[in-house]
Structure 1
Amino acid sequence: MVDRILAGAKAIALARRNHAPLAPLEVPPRDEAEGYKIQRALHDLLLPHAGPLVGYKIACTSQVMQDYMQMDHPCVGGVFEKVVHDSGAKLAASDYVRVGVECEIAVRLKRDLAPGEAPFTAEWVGEAVDAYAPAIEIVDDRYVKWETMGAPTLIADDFFAAGCVLGEAVPRSSVPDLKAVAGRALINGEEAGKGTGADVLGHPHNALAWLANHLAAEGKGLHAGQLVLTGSLVKTLWLKAGDKVRMELDGLGVVEAKFT
């Protein structure tokens, strides 16, 4: 079992380091639980390349993304220190296999959410949030054909996660009703998608509670200072070199990046 897990993690890590499309694994994970075991082993292998794990991204929290990915529940992937950028970042499209972006509400925690506190509710995790930020999640279609990979393998590879770009943080006391926050995604000045905070499992705190409970079931917690991308308000937008990206989230601000 350990050999299966490590072999899968090594194959994914090699593809990630080489910016090479990942073919179906020789021994793919049998189910999502095994996919998460490979993901944990992968995170250890990525440390020298991507830096420490600084948080998580939650995938498939909105109906538009569940329909697109053909998934009926959320999934989680890691976010690493070296791929968290400030608004205005200029990033090389060649650093990705096929780069895409999503419009998200990010949260930063002010205290730990320990596994012993589970089960978590939206209200409970909301109290643990320090600040919010408008975010561009960067995703990478680093697969020969993602539609045939299967959810367990996508989970093993952090479910497309490739980092994020963050706008200015807004203290929790200053944010509007997150359910009503409207987000717009603009590519080269043209609106390419829109949604609201209510599209994220009814409220972004519901997504955060799902993550805290998911981690608690594995005996793991969330920690003060960690970043969580709560899920996309819009369908993934695939980019080409030269594209300028701007996400506008009412009451939270704006975040921008250029992919050169």
Structure 2
Amino acid sequence: MLGDDVVAALAEELADADRTNAVIPRITARHPDATIEDSYAIQGVWRDRMLAAGRRLVGRKIGLTSRAMQQATGIDEPDYGVMFDDTVHSSGAEIPVDRFSNVRIEVELAFVLARPLEGPGCTLEDALAATDHVVPALEVLNSHIELEGRTIVDTISDNAAYGAMVLGATRRRPDEVDLRWVPGLLYRNGEIEETGVAAGVLDHPARGVAWLANKFHHHGARLEAGEIILAGSFTRPLWVSRGDEVLADYGPMGTITCRFI
């Protein structure tokens, strides 16, 4: 495993890249023996620095939970990162492209917890029972590590490539809609680009929430009431640029729009 000084230095590199919208060389190219535990340690140091600077944690993102995303990235297991209050937008938002690097978006569902959720042995049913409501969401990806050749170690270190999220206005309790069959039609500038259904996330998007609760148990932590959990994308990432207008249609769960400026 990497030494504490190396972990701290890499976390500072990523913090600088976040401030300047820069892209740094792959961590695994420089430290080929780095482990997944190392990557979460780097992310943890970065997270703590952000909290110390006054940012407030509002939830977690889960990534790489669908075959579409795993095939798109060449990474075959889920990961997770943290989300801060200043990264949350509402439908209709104008989002400055200059705040991000390698800007892409994904179609997801967000689970808002009514009560704490923890492992071990957390099940799909446990995750649904702990959920207050579900809303449609777009995730804005923000990658500060070069994309070519990256591994899950690089992605996790970079806060699982999370940049921001755009939340829809339609709220549903888990018993009000069959979450497996929530559709996603993703449009850029009026042209349809991606489609999918939420079952693409581990056969049920709430399984991602249960997976995260069990993963947290290994670190002596749990998901807390009120947290927003992005359950993972059920479409491939879509590249966006300044001036692009995005619309995501979730059928019975409404639509999300945003514009990149």
TM-score normalised by length of structure 1: 0.94
Pair 1:38–1:75, CA change in 2 (3 A): same
Paired position in structure 2 for 1:103: 107
Paired position in structure 2 for 1:165: 166
Partners of 1:62 and 1:123 in 2: CA distance = 20
Question: How far does the alpha carbon of each residue in 1:145-175 deviate from its partner, in whole angstroms, 9 at most, with x for none?
Answer: 3122322121011121001000114131663
Paired position in structure 1 for 2:18: 16
Paired position in structure 1 for 2:89: 85
Letter in 1 for 2:138: I
Pair 1:213–1:173, CA change in 2 (3 A): closer
Paired position in structure 2 for 1:197: 198
Partners of 1:110 and 1:193 in 2: CA distance = 32
| Contact 2:183–2:197, Cα closer than 8 Å, also in 1 | yes
Paired position in structure 2 for 1:187: 188
SS at match of 2:256: strand
Partners of 1:191 and 1:76 in 2: CA distance = 28
* Structure 1 residue 127 displacement after superposition: 0.3
Q: 1:40 aligns with which of 41, 44, 47?
A: 44
Pair 1:29–1:227, CA change in 2 (3 A): farther
SS at match of 1:170: coil
* Structure 1 residue 49 displacement after superposition: 5.9
SS at match of 2:232: strand
Paired position in structure 1 for 2:120: 118
* Structure 1 residue 84 displacement after superposition: 0.6
| Contact 1:185–1:191, Cα closer than 8 Å, also in 2 | yes
**Runs of 4+ with deviation above 6 angstroms:** none
Paired position in structure 2 for 1:255: 256
| Contact 1:8–1:28, Cα closer than 8 Å, also in 2 | no
SS at match of 1:56: strand
Pair 1:39–1:17, CA change in 2 (3 A): same
SS at match of 2:70: helix
The answer on 1:31 being equivalent to 2:32 is no
**Which blocks of at least 5 consecutive residues in structure 1 are unaligned?**
none
Letter in 1 for 2:157: A
The answer on 1:152 being equivalent to 2:153 is yes
Which sits farther off after the overlay, 186-195 or 17-26?
17-26
Equivalent residue runs for 1:231-250 within 5 Å: 231-250=232-251
Question: How far does the alpha carbon of each residue in 1:217-242 deviate from its partner, in whole angstroms, 9 at most, with x for none?
Answer: 11110001100111111100001110
Question: How far does the alpha carbon of each residue in 1:73-130 deviate from its partner, in whole angstroms, 9 at most, with x for none?
Answer: 111111111011111110111221221100111110000113xx42100011110001
Partners of 1:92 and 1:149 in 2: CA distance = 26
- What CA RMSD, in Å, does the superposition of the two structures yield over aligned residues? 1.6
The answer on 1:54 being equivalent to 2:58 is yes
| Contact 1:50–1:82, Cα closer than 8 Å, also in 2 | no
SS at match of 1:146: coil
Partners of 1:214 and 1:92 in 2: CA distance = 33
The answer on 1:64 being equivalent to 2:68 is yes
Partners of 1:11 and 1:185 in 2: CA distance = 34
Count of residue pairs brought into register by the alignment: 257
Letter in 1 for 2:58: V
Q: Percent identity?
A: 33
SS at match of 1:17: helix
